Structure formats: structure tokens, C-alpha cells
């Protein structure tokens, strides 16, 4: 019996930040047969313990529609530096800002899921000139409950690593995209993240909420919640009530926390409808 293997993590370009952290990213340029018009660049940020490959489906759809889509492994994840010295919110935001500046993406639409969405929110608040519009998937400004770091630790401890096969990893993690982020070694398939780094990365979000940053945003914002996800309805609706003129809400049916993996077509339709209604920035 032939064992199926995921596509290798290839095609990444690296950029080194001032603190020595190496970031692996992929620049998905539009197809030559794309429809005419300037749809604009998109930067996509994955969630905690994830990797840039989670966005392959959405990036391909955006690329076909004429967008330039850039995906990257956040510090501490995937093919980026696995144990960076700094995993603060400030460091993650600085990474995203640096990629937008280095790749001349501004102003970009920034899409983030879970902790990547939180980074995107803080990026838009700190650097409004870099962000044309914002799409947050299962992410918001409310304080993270204090039990979450321990829950993340227990979740990562529950992984039966090394997984004996790619198929076993897919079955356990529920999505092939998650399994594709693993590293194959002689004895099996291993995570490309370290538990203590993940816990340190999330702990800061339990210290306070980020409603002040949310209130500072002026860019059009789409907030996407999975019908069966972990984002609380109260946070979801409050985000709109605090910024009703610039915030649109969408709940995706039959989707959990990983909306982009559970319902990729429905997510793309919501993204395209939002981007089609978002005015382009004026050109001097």
C-alpha cells in the first residue's frame, strides 16, 4: 500500500528581522489570466501552533481573482525561527509590519485567524497606513480567559507524537492542512512548534482586553465567526456595536474555529463580497 505524503514545505523565501528571527514567507503573485483591475495585495496570518500552508486554498483563490497574496510562518512556527527570543504581541505585530513594508504591500488587506487575527487587529491599530481593510476570523479584542494557556499546554500534550504516518496525523488533527505542517523524521511525524513557546505566545492575551485598540480602528473590517467555533457571540456582536459604521459580521454555518479549513468556499465568498464592497484608497 502506498502511503500518501503531503506537498513539501517548499518555495519559501526568508527574511531576517533585527532580533535575528528568520521568517519564512511565500509570495503568491496573480496569474497572468487574472481579471483586469487592481484588487490589491493581501497578507494572511495563521493562528497559534499553525503554519502558512493553512492558507493555501484561500491564497490560490485570491491569486486567481487577481490578488497578490502573501503567507508566512509566524515566529516560533513552521519554517520560521522555532525558538525566538521574543514572542510578545509587539514582536508579532512588528513582523507583519516589516513584511508589508519590505514587500511593498501597503496598503494591504490583512486576514488573520485566531491569534493571527489578534495580531492583525493590533497591526491595524498601530499602523493604520499599512492596512486598507481587515478580516478577522474567530478573533477579537476580548481578554482571553486565564485557563487558556493551560488548555493549550494540555492540548499539545495530547498529541501522540511522533505520529506513525501522515494519515494518522490527519485523522487525529482533523484536517490535512494541519498535518501538512508537521515535520517527517525517521521515527515519524513531529510538530514544528514547541509547547513552551506556544504557551508563552498566548499568555500575554490573558492580561488585559484590547477594546481600546479596537476603538482606534478606522478601516473597513469583516469579522467572521464559525457557527460552531470558540468565539463568543457576545464579543462578536459587541465588536459591531462599538464600530457599527465600519464593521461587518458574518457567521459561517457548519464551521468550527478553523473556518478557513472547515468551509473554504463559504469563507472565500464572504471575503470576496467584503472586498468587492470595500472602496479603494484614493491616489494622490
Q: What is the pLDDT of residues 69-93, one digit of tens each?
A: 999 999 999 999 999 999 999 999 9
Helices (H), the chain: 56-64, 89-102, 115-126, 148-157, 166-173, 176-179, 195-203, 211-216, 233-242, 259-262, 264-277
Q: Provide the whole-model pTM.
A: 0.93
In this structure, what C-alpha cell is assigned to residue 86? 521574543
Does residue 153 sit in helix, strand or coil?
helix
In this structure, what C-alpha cell is assigned to residue 109? 488587506
Please provide the CATH number assigned to the domain covering 13-144+208-277.
Answer: 3.40.50.1820
> What confidence tens digit (pLDDT) does each residue in 241-275 have?
999 999 999 999 999 999 999 999 999 999 999 99
In this structure, what C-alpha cell is assigned to residue 2? 502506498
Amino acid at each position: 500500500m502506498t502511503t500518501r505524503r503531503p506537498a513539501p514545505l517548499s518555495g519559501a523565501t526568508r527574511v531576517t528581522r533585527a532580533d535575528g528571527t528568520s521568517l519564512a514567507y511565500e509570495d503568491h503573485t496573480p496569474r497572468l489570466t487574472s481579471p483586469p483591475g487592481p484588487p490589491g495585495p493581501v497578507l494572511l496570518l495563521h493562528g497559534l501552533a499553525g503554519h502558512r500552508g493553512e492558507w493555501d486554498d484561500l491564497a490560490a483563490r485570491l491569486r486567481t481573482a487577481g490578488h497578490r497574496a502573501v503567507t508566512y510562518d509566524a515566529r516560533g512556527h513552521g519554517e520560521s525561527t522555532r525558538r525566538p527570543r521574543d514572542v510578545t504581541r509587539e514582536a508579532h505585530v512588528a513582523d507583519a509590519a516589516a513584511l508589508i513594508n519590505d514587500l511593498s504591500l501597503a496598503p494591504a488587506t490583512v486576514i488573520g485567524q485566531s491569534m493571527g487575527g489578534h495580531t492583525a487587529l493590533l497591526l491595524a491599530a498601530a499602523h493604520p497606513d499599512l492596512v486598507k481593510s481587515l478580516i478577522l476570523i474567530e478573533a477579537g479584542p476580548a481578554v482571553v480567559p486565564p485557563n487558556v494557556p493551560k488548555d493549550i499546554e494540555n492540548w499539545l500534550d495530547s498529541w501522540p507524537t511522533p505520529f506513525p504516518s501522515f494519515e494518522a496525523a490527519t485523522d487525529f488533527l482533523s484536517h490535512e492542512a494541519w498535518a501538512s505542517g508537521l515535520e517527517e523524521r525517521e521515527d515519524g511525524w513531529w510538530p514544528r512548534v514547541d509547547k513552551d513557546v506556544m504557551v508563552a505566545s498566548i499568555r500575554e492575551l490573558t492580561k488585559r482586553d484590547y477594546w481600546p485598540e479596537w476603538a482606534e480602528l478606522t478601516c473597513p473590517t469583516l469579522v467572521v465567526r464559525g457557527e460552531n467555533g470558540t468565539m463568543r457571540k457576545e464579543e462578536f456582536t459587541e465588536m459591531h456595536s462599538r464600530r457599527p459604521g465600519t464593521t461587518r459580521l458574518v457567521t459561517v454555518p457548519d464551521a468550527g474555529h478553523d473556518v478557513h479549513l472547515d468551509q473554504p468556499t463559504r469563507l472565500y465568498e464572504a471575503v470576496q463580497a467584503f472586498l468587492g464592497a470595500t472602496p479603494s484608497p484614493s491616489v494622490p
